[in-house]
Chains A and B, each alone.
Chain A
Amino acid sequence: MSNLLEVEDLHICFSVLGQEVHALRGINFTLRKGEILGIAGESGCGKSVAAKAIMRLLPAHSSSVSQGKIFYNGQNLLKLSEAEMRSVRGKEIAMIFQDPMTSLNPTKTIGAQVMEGYCLHRPEIKKQEAKHYAIELLRQVGIPQPEERFLAYPHLFSGGMRQRAMIALAIASEPKILLADEPTTALDVTIQAQILDLLRKIAQENGTSIILITHDLSVIANMCDRVAIMYAGKIVEEAPVDVLFKTPRHPYTQGLLHSIPRLDTPRDHPLVPIEGRPPNLTKTFSGCAFCPRCSSALRICTANDPPYISCDTEHHVACWREHPQNPHNQG
């Protein structure tokens, strides 16, 4: 499989109230054609920032890309002019946002919003054609009576319906990549199952590659081919989904997996939470960002940032314990 998107050593800083927040501290990942890549992590770990950086949607006045490259189709997106970027954004790479309540324009009909992006990228298309296409899209994403709903405003839609409309907007231009940022977090379980089903269908039928960003590891297990786990602005572990859930190597990944109650966790079995909380990214720190919360930290962990270590060709982890020269690492 060839790489559709490559992110190399991306660093992003925000300046907040005169302080520098180092939101991304050098992340690397690739997205292959037709795959669903999951990016998981807790709030503030930088997963949404990464998605917005790919879309170039970060506010220019308060954020800066201090280093790094994002390659799509051989071109570095960070080097494109705003006009060039506009022909990629929405057309080649589209995004679904977390909160369907606030990310649709409340003053325009659903139909007009679905048509807007589509017409923008295809100026030659006739309005009547675009309307037919938009109605077809609404039908495709499972909105009942799309002809009537075309004229409805977002406030008349339920949360699940709005998220379907958002998906219709995003897939209107048949993008190659879909960035889904917590697409089901605001939704109820049965509606979540519907939306995940829809995304899976889109990936299979249109061959769209999806980056699914979520804090819920169960959603990842359900949907993804590969997973990257983020912590404090870095990817700490990356692996195919089966490998990650079967043999997690990073203590943070292990901690996350142990702290979710599973349906088969017996009731007298205490959950093992990760003590403490994520670090403050306004401060620079030496060593591994996770080591203050890590129960198996080595002395080097406080001093030096761990390198990326490959457990095998597909499984990479940023942890000193996995270093080949670590005497405790027998395998």
Chain B
Amino acid sequence: MSPVGENIPKILTIRGKSPEMQENALNNSDTILAKMPPLISVEELRVHYLSDKRSLKAVDGISFSLHEGKTLGLVGESGCGKSTTGKAVLQLEQPTGGKILFRGTDLALMSSKELFAFRRESQMIFQDPYASLNPRMTAGDIIAEPLDIHRLEKGSQRTTRIHELLQLVGLSPHLASRFPHEFSGGQRQRIGIARALAVRPRFIVCDEPISALDVSVQAQIINLLKSLQEEMGIAYLFITHDLRVVKYLSTEIAVMYLGHIVESAPTEELYKNPAHPYTQALLAAIPLPDPVQERKRNRIVLKDEVPSPYAPPPGCVFCTRCPFAQPICQTERPVMRQIASAHYAACHFA
């Protein structure tokens, strides 16, 4: 297709023909990847805000890593700190503690020139396609703005690139001269995706990219994001509250609650053996599109609501709503413990 797909390490684009081949190829790539340094690694990230002279701990010491071409799903309810995490990783929000390493280099120690180069490799897709496109720019100019900023393609090459990007996201090139108000929500989200892809990033933060779209259009965007990743090996940090979508898109999932990651595991493992009571409750709260299964299912309805982030519980952050809480949970904060290979949970009883 386009030259976008060049320079991708071989291991990232393997798609075997038979299921076994694919399995083997993926397993091999996993072992190779494990030896490679992660693309992004976050260590003990903290983002605290000072408002009303009180400290709001939006993100309070989380760690994760993301490898080339993989998707990490960051799941949680509103206010858990998932969007703040996404912004901090892109340096759109200043962390108050911890480290963010991009290919092993600490972002905080980068020179402004290095940071500029980092921004070219990392992009963002926003939640609201109605608010994230400048209404006074044409679709073409919106898509090419990152190219202008990074002084990449100019003149006729710029036009070619715009057309190429529009095609890549499934829009017709002649739409380049249209303004955002002439597009539907799904089409606008495609423009937002084309803009993110313009500079050939290796890493994209997708912040609830489909939650503002209609059901029948959501599937179009999910399929697009998935096929783009398969073609170009871009790594996604996929932020969402929707556990159905994230299961479908992610290779690994981290569940956040009140500024902490309470559980992280490879996708299949997390859905099969959720260890943290919060993850279990989240999974139980997803309504299934099947009335027969719905009736059979064991429903866990959590009591109360998420406590204020100004005054999180001193022990386990989830203890106020946990159906299994014990005295120790109220006083001692559980640390992330390994439960199975690559499966971690922060619970005293997991």
Query: Which chain A residues have a beta carbon within 8 Å of chain B's beta carbons?
Result: 42-43, 144, 158, 160-161, 188-194, 196-197, 215-219, 221-222, 241-242, 245-246, 255-263, 265, 267-268, 270-275, 277
**Chain B 106-120 residues near chain A, CB threshold 8 A:** none
Contact assessment for A189 and B77 in the assembled complex, using a CB-CB cutoff below 8 Å: yes
Contact assessment for B241 and A188 in the assembled complex, using a CB-CB cutoff below 8 Å: yes
Contact assessment for B294 and A222 in the assembled complex, using a CB-CB cutoff below 8 Å: yes
- Does B104 touch A at the CB level, under 8 Å? no
- Does B184 touch A at the CB level, under 8 Å? yes
Contact assessment for B248 and A277 in the assembled complex, using a CB-CB cutoff below 8 Å: no
CB contact between B271 and one of A221, A263, A268 (< 8 Å): that residue: A263
Known: A190-B282, A193-B299. A273 touches B291 (CB 8 A): no
Q: Write out the residue numbers on chain A whose beta carbons fall within 8 Å of the beta carbon of B245.
A: 261
Query: Nearest-CB distance from A267 to chain B (Å)?
Result: 6
Q: Which residue of chain B is the closest to A218 with respect to CB atoms?
A: B287
30 pairs, CB–CB < 8 Å, chain A vs chain B: A42-B214, A188-B77, A188-B78, A189-B243, A189-B286, A190-B281, A190-B301, A192-B285, A193-B301, A194-B301, A215-B215, A218-B288, A218-B289, A221-B287, A221-B289, A221-B290, A222-B287, A245-B290, A245-B291, A255-B216, A259-B219, A260-B219, A261-B219, A261-B244, A261-B245, A263-B247, A263-B286, A267-B249, A270-B223, A274-B219
Contact assessment for A256 and B288 in the assembled complex, using a CB-CB cutoff below 8 Å: no
Contact assessment for A158 and B289 in the assembled complex, using a CB-CB cutoff below 8 Å: no
Query: Nearest-CB distance from B276 to chain A (Å)?
Result: 13
> Which of A43, A218, A272 is packed against the most chain B CB atoms within 10 Å?
A218
- Does B65 touch A at the CB level, under 8 Å? no
> Which of B249, B281, B287 is packed against the most chain A CB atoms within 10 Å?
B287
**Secondary structure class of chain B's binding surface, majority of residues:** helix
Known: A43-B214, A222-B294, A260-B244. A271 touches B289 (CB 8 A): no
> Which of A43, A189, A255, A265 is packed against the most chain B CB atoms within 10 Å?
A189
Q: Which residue of chain A is the closest to B278 with respect to CB atoms?
A: A190
Q: Write out the residue numbers on chain A whose beta carbons fall within 8 Å of the beta carbon of B348.
A: none
- Does B158 touch A at the CB level, under 8 Å? no
Q: Which residue of chain B is the closest to A225 with respect to CB atoms?
A: B291
- Does B326 touch A at the CB level, under 8 Å? no
Query: Nearest-CB distance from A179 to chain B (Å)?
Result: 20
Contact assessment for B216 and A273 in the assembled complex, using a CB-CB cutoff below 8 Å: yes
**Chain B 285-338 residues near chain A, CB threshold 8 A:** 285-292, 294, 299, 301-302, 304-305
Query: Nearest-CB distance from A180 to chain B (Å)?
Result: 15
Known: A42-B215, A222-B294, A267-B248. A261 touches B286 (CB 8 A): no
